[in-house]
Amino acid sequence: ARLCSIRHFLFDKQLDLDWILVLDGDSGIVNSDLRIEDFIFDGESEKNHVDGIFSIRWKNGNILSGGYMIKRSEFGKRMLNEW
C-alpha cells in the first residue's frame, strides 16, 4: 500500500512534484547542514541525470525501503511499478 500511495502522489498530474522523499517514521536527520538539493542538482543542471537515490543493505545488496528519493521520470515509474 505504501508504494501505491507514493506512486499515486508522484505521478498525480494535479500535483507539481519533481521528486518525492520517502522516510520511515523512525528516520532521523543527522546533518542538517546538508541540503537535499545538493544531492540531485549541480548548479543549473542535474548531476548525471539522477533519477533516484537509494540506500543499499551492505550484506546482501537489497535496496532499503525506509529512506529514498525518486524522481518523476520513466525510471521512477518503472521502479515503483516493479519494486
Q: For 6-24, what is each residue's pLDDT tens digit? A: 999 889 989 998 899 999 9
Q: What is the spatial distance between Cα 57 and Cα 2, in angstroms, rounded to a whole number?
A: 20
- What backbone torsions phi and psi does residue 34 show, to the nearest 5 degrees? -85, 140
> Cell numbers at residue 54, please?
537509494
What are the φ and ψ backbone dihedral angles of 26, each rounded to 5 degrees?
-100, 15
What pLDDT sits at residue 27?
85
Whole-number pLDDT of residue 60: 93
Residue 55: its pLDDT value, please? Answer: 86
Taking only the tens place, the pLDDT of each residue in 30-69 is 888 988 887 776 556 555 578 888 888 889 989 888 889 9
